[in-house]
Structure 1
């Protein structure tokens, strides 16, 4: 049987079980150096793949020489911990809308971030939050990402922050300048986050609002009303 390495990038989403599978050498006679993720020791380790069969816990390299990385499993194991942190508004004088993952409800909820400090359980939009934290993100990924259809919005402050948005007409992520406050859910920290969340979403740009931002008015009224 010929040796075939399948592109396993789809297994590297936070919901993937690929990182938790046991090492599998395969059933041929070859000896090919690969890496697998040991979920008990939380380390990437070498093993010899025989050249056929096996499972999704098999990677070309540990670091950045190839597109399929065992280090992505390390990132998964670290990033999954942040999703259990309580929301932290930080400190400062800013008034930025953000979302955090509520592990007790498996949903992302809004809160106000003051601009400095805080913790890693903070995302710019619901799609990015769910993709990183929800155990059901593989199922959710098949649903339309309404945030990806929102028009680019620069916000209402005076900052000059480089962010990325998804242009659903051209079906690609593009760079834009965010002013530092307000805006909408179609805003990502970097290109990869934008692309992995929105890639494949089609349609004209619309003004559809995501579920989390439809709850934002109620949140602000409850927290800041006199």
Structure 2
């Protein structure tokens, strides 16, 4: 219980070094390296664009690489051009697992009634079945322990793997953080910040004073609060809307001042 508590605190703080040290010191086995890639824990993200590209992502529920439709922009790194690329990055190697572990359970042709165990490739667990006593296949073990040792990934290993993936998955961010930087339509040069979804950073840019989109913040701190740490529906949301309205009023004044000389010339 003490280990789980310490792990929980370390993971919530995204402190991977502490997590690894805790597991090493206590002698607990580490999760498989390939499933440990944080990008493999991300959900399939088609992105905001409307194109249709067939891509592959790693599904942590089925622990398989699956196909999905990608919109063509943004999204996340759990996005692979080929099935092989996805498998090489995320799926656990099965080179140490005999081929017969993937055979279906086979009671054989005889009429005996013996309790045996087989590895279920769908549930990834060793399960009991009734064996007739002759023929069948090699996915047939006299004890649960023998089956698990030969074919099954240890339960603690799987538990720690999903513990890592579920807690380290980054929080969802609002759609405004995925929109591209937009300077707007006017001619002013106000220093603002926008969230670059590709790099995960808040970057400065020159805002023209009117138009643009909501990916527009008066400070780096407000940008990080909304987009980097997840959307908080409180004063932060109202502040963004208030700033946007205020700048619209200023942009109207600028346009009126610029239009006066033109009227005088006429």
**TM-score higher than 0.5:** no
Greater Rg over alpha carbons, structure:
2
Bigger share in helix: 2
TM-score (norm 2): 0.27
Could you state the TM-score of these two structures normalised by the residue count of structure 1? 0.31
